[in-house]
Structure 1
Amino acid sequence: MINISTKKILGARLAPIVGALILAGCSTLAPDYSRSEIDIVNSLDNSSEVQSQGLSNQYANQVPWKSFIQDSRLTQIIELALNSNRSLRQTLADVESARATYRIQKADLYPKIDVGLSGNRSKATSSEITTSYQAQAGLTNYEIDLFGKTRSLNTVQMEAYLASEEAAKAAQISLIGEIANAWLTLAADKNQLSLAKETAVNAGKAMAITNKRLQLGVDSRIDVASAETIYHSASSDIANFTTQVAQDLNALQLLVGEPIPDDLLPQDLPNSESLLSDVPAGLSSSVLLQRPDVLAAEHTLKSANANIGVARAAFFPSLSLTATGGLASNVLADIFSGGASSIWTLAPSLTLPIFDGGANDANLAYSEAQQTKYLAAYEYAIQSAFSEVADALARRATIQDQLNAEQALVTAASRSYDLSIARYEGGVDSFQNALEAQRIMYQAKQSLILTKQADLNNRITLYRVLGGGLAQQDSNAVGG
């Protein structure tokens, strides 16, 4: 074993070499990166429809999802999904793989130094036996990064890792939105099922009345048949929504990745105030630029940009170095006591590409084409983000008017139905008017349920497309 003093001697001899190698080179050949500017991003800033909704200037990506979602049942289900969803696990594993790949590439920035102790004992023709010992530390074939090739490769992997990390955030935001929408779909279909059962009960009562009046000679068989139509229609809806509820539960459990306790499932659609907080829009262009999927596209672009530096560096000479320093002695003890003589080797080698059949030119052309491709992908990601936000805001601007109108329609249709039934039972009006009023009321209530669901889905969608509360989440350190 080499003692501490010997290690210091070896370290002192190699330190100047290692320091020079680390400081070699001052720049890379990659193009300077500048963020792409797209005018379309700012066109939402002065939207009158948005301002009329009273949205604040706070950014949605600054609001944690647990603060946005108010219902404790839904937050618990989302927490289960974030821990158990298999698709998300795959994405997070990809992030760890990218991080490990980056660390492997980063290690090439530094010399790899090995320490060894060897001994040799031999006998010559003179029958004299000689013994020698050596302790040495050194590096082998370390490429000095004169033109930034290794640093560009390091940047390529670092940006790929950061892109995967942002993609994982985007996947988490998407999963939160999918869970919330699946939970709301289950709640809405349970409401539809309850409405169908209620309508079937009322239709059954109407059937009983018309059958009795038929026996008394007041109503005709047409009235009885008409009463049966609404009853059988509601019965069909009961069967349909019973299936839908079961399928909704299956879909929700698949997203979560494990069985869901019954007490966390909704029984009906909650109102928007008890389920979700108001969505802060924050209509600055930075909202779109900080979306995880947009950031992922930008990191991928930066990775492609760094690849151009790698391709350019291939045209220039590469300098590699093998160097060792150590101690030698005929007596092993002299190495440990400091009485040995010094030994060293220094073997630089320079390689200059002369003829490669156009491989370097083709590789550079490929890297530049990839950079152009990912620039277009980045700009498209921004345009897609703008389109999604614009669509969500357009729906947000009119959904409350639709809710108010449909709530008024349900109120009017219910009053019309009550009056029509009363007039029918009093012999003032025909059953056909009562039947039509019941159909209108049933359809109006169905439509109101769907619109309430659409309102809640729109709030969730707007929160998601504006960043979803994870864009500012601290990243793990990329080093080490």
Structure 2
Amino acid sequence: MRNIYLFLGAILIGGCSFKKIKQVNTEISLPKGESFTLSNDSNLSNLPIPFFRKLFPNEELESLIRDGLNESPNWKAKLAKLEVVKTRSGIGISEAEPSLNAKLGLMEGEEKTRESQFQTSEVPKLQAGALFNWELDLWGKWKLIKNSSLMHIEEATYINEASKISFIHEIASIWFLLAAKKEQMQILQTAISSQEKTIQFYRQRLNAGLDDNVTYMRQSVVLDQLMLERARILREMEVSKIKLCSLIGRPLAEKLPEIPKLSQLNLPKLPEVYPTNALIERPDLRAKEAKLRESLLLEKSAKYDLFPSLGFQMSGISMTSNISEPFEQWKASFGPVFNFPIWSPKKKVLLKTAKAESKLRKEEWKAIIYLAIEEIESSTRSFLMGKNELSIAERSSQETKDILEITQERLIAGLVSELQLLEDERQFLSTSIKEVETRFQVFQFALNLSKSLGLRWEE
């Protein structure tokens, strides 16, 4: 008998697992890293992370983003999804709470018992019962499950914040694209007018017999190419407007707020922030970190699920054939209940699955950190080098403008022909379009940098 007691005691202490129980360590910190940016630039500061509106200050753009956040069904659906996650997380938490169930039934039947000397008698038709069950948190398993549910909610919250950042940057990207296309359209219209003058000049030379028909046809082809480019830009503008209206929740809107030309917008400045601080605050990284914490908590709870559990159970049943005598037959019981998972293949498989998932979440967490570093590095370099490209494009555009002004003065003085003036004007318009394209590229790089740093909208 003593050996039996020792055996049962060993089962009570060890259950299916004989490993030492350790306190869960859910503290996971980001790796300490050095600067992830170019040396000697303004991106090395310990100032707080700025907000999106500080980097791209514009009232029209802010108005569109507010409309999108207030009216877009897509964004409202993401907010509703977050509420669903919060509600569902209560399922895991509720399993740790005491439960009370009751039942009431009307049944027909017969029974033979020793007390009735095995005489057949009818079973009472009305049956009522109640069951109270409460599993005590002996090892802290339910506390771990509760904390994992909170981590799941935290993950969903950070995912929602990351979606918000992507949403406002998508609106801004289309808005800057429309500003660039608007300016390109004006330049192209001027170029088409200039080319029409060139064709008129060559038609006069053709009529005078000074040029052949091939030269005139070449100029007509140039005009057709310009008109084709204008048609392409017009198509892109219309499609972008439709997409922008859809993003802000007004797909049938006939008019958008006035969009300025891209050259009227100030270039964004490089945000002054340590990239390591940005990494810590990026919501997508925080979401992965919360997911990792959740998986570690679930892994530890799966280990504790292999240990014996202690609960308190109370039940009662009453049977009668007459409502006026509700306790014709009754039975009640209460007391502690020990559960010993001596052999549970399912629980062991669940533990292996939890361990594998924890390992997966660790690798995913590391991978997204490396990806974030890459995004910050590449967008920072692209932004700085893009500004250098813009300065070259602006210088080239200014030089062709100076050449055009000199040619105009020389034409008035009779030193050059009108053909030379038209050629210089065409070159100036070409460099102007290139300048707009390069300027738009800088804004795109700035948006990528803002998104990679996780700049939020709110203040």
Give the TM-score of the pair, scaled to structure 1.
Answer: 0.74
2:298 aligned counterpart, secondary structure: helix
- Flag the 1:444–1:171 CA change in 2: closer, same or farther, 3 A: same
Show CA shifts across 1:255-300 (max 9, x none): 2221456351414215443xx7644231152320210000000000
Superposition map of 1:210-229 within 5 A: 210-229=202-221
1:42 aligned counterpart, secondary structure: coil
Residue matched to 1:197? 189
Amino acid at match of 1:397: L
> Is 1:350 paired with 2:350?
no
Amino acid at match of 1:177: H
Contact 2:194 2:425 in 1 (8 A): no
Cα RMSD (Å):
3.4
Residue matched to 2:402? 415
1:32 aligned counterpart, secondary structure: coil
- Flag the 1:144–1:56 CA change in 2: closer, same or farther, 3 A: same
- Give the one of 233, 243, 259 matched to 1:251: 243
- Aligned partners of 2:268, 2:437: CA distance in 1, in Å? 20
Show CA shifts across 1:168-202 (max 9, x none): 00000000100000111111112222111110011
Residue matched to 1:456? 443
- Aligned partners of 1:423, 1:230: CA distance in 2, in Å? 26
- Flag the 1:112–1:278 CA change in 2: closer, same or farther, 3 A: farther
Residue 419 of structure 1, CA deviation: 5.0
Show CA shifts across 1:352-408 (max 9, x none): 01122x333322121111001001111111111111111111012222221111111
Superposition map of 1:85-124 within 5 A: 85-112=72-99
2:139 aligned counterpart, secondary structure: coil
Contact 1:183 1:265 in 2 (8 A): no
Residue 71 of structure 1, CA deviation: 1.3
- Give the one of 261, 273, 283 matched to 1:268: 261
Contact 1:226 1:435 in 2 (8 A): no
Residue matched to 1:128? none
Residue 438 of structure 1, CA deviation: 4.5
Residue 110 of structure 1, CA deviation: 3.6
- Flag the 1:88–1:435 CA change in 2: closer, same or farther, 3 A: same
Residue matched to 2:48? 59
- Flag the 1:458–1:397 CA change in 2: closer, same or farther, 3 A: same
Residue 254 of structure 1, CA deviation: 2.4
Contact 1:30 1:307 in 2 (8 A): no
Contact 2:100 2:133 in 1 (8 A): no
Residue matched to 1:177? 169
2:41 aligned counterpart, secondary structure: helix
- Flag the 1:57–1:396 CA change in 2: closer, same or farther, 3 A: farther
2:337 aligned counterpart, secondary structure: strand
- Aligned partners of 2:210, 2:44: CA distance in 1, in Å? 59
Amino acid at match of 2:336: P
Residue 91 of structure 1, CA deviation: 2.3
Superposition map of 1:227-246 within 5 A: 227-246=219-238
Residue matched to 1:283? 274
Residue matched to 1:374? 361
Contact 2:268 2:443 in 1 (8 A): no
Amino acid at match of 1:441: F
- Aligned partners of 1:277, 1:56: CA distance in 2, in Å? 17
Show CA shifts across 1:407-431 (max 9, x none): 1111222333455577689886678
- Aligned partners of 1:427, 1:287: CA distance in 2, in Å? 62
- Aligned partners of 1:219, 1:415: CA distance in 2, in Å? 30
- Give the one of 433, 437, 443 matched to 2:430: 443
Contact 1:406 1:447 in 2 (8 A): yes
- Flag the 1:149–1:29 CA change in 2: closer, same or farther, 3 A: farther
- Flag the 1:177–1:453 CA change in 2: closer, same or farther, 3 A: same
Residue matched to 2:71? 84
- Aligned partners of 1:108, 1:361: CA distance in 2, in Å? 20
- Aligned partners of 1:100, 1:220: CA distance in 2, in Å? 80
Residue matched to 2:62? 75
- Aligned partners of 2:402, 2:215: CA distance in 1, in Å? 22
2:135 aligned counterpart, secondary structure: strand
- Aligned partners of 1:322, 1:351: CA distance in 2, in Å? 12
Contact 2:30 2:280 in 1 (8 A): no
Contact 1:56 1:280 in 2 (8 A): no
- Aligned partners of 2:201, 2:410: CA distance in 1, in Å? 13
Residue matched to 1:335? none
Residue matched to 1:306? 297
1:195 aligned counterpart, secondary structure: helix
Contact 1:193 1:237 in 2 (8 A): no
- Give the one of 378, 392, 396 matched to 1:391: 378
- Aligned partners of 1:156, 1:295: CA distance in 2, in Å? 15
Amino acid at match of 2:340: L
> Is 1:33 paired with 2:20?
no
- Flag the 1:447–1:417 CA change in 2: closer, same or farther, 3 A: same
- Aligned partners of 1:31, 1:108: CA distance in 2, in Å? 20
Residue 301 of structure 1, CA deviation: 0.3
- Aligned partners of 1:149, 1:91: CA distance in 2, in Å? 32
- Aligned partners of 1:258, 1:460: CA distance in 2, in Å? 24
Gaps of 5+ in 2: 1-20, 104-129, 317-331
Amino acid at match of 1:155: N
Residue 75 of structure 1, CA deviation: 0.7
Residue 98 of structure 1, CA deviation: 1.4
Residue 227 of structure 1, CA deviation: 3.2
Amino acid at match of 2:341: P
- Aligned partners of 2:277, 2:350: CA distance in 1, in Å? 35
- Give the one of 140, 158, 161 matched to 2:153: 161
> Is 1:44 paired with 2:31?
no
1:44 aligned counterpart, secondary structure: coil
Give the TM-score of the pair, scaled to structure 2.
Answer: 0.77
Gaps of 5+ in 1: 1-27, 117-137, 326-343, 474-480
Contact 1:98 1:161 in 2 (8 A): yes
Residue 29 of structure 1, CA deviation: 5.9
- Give the one of 346, 364, 367 matched to 2:351: 364
Residue 152 of structure 1, CA deviation: 1.6
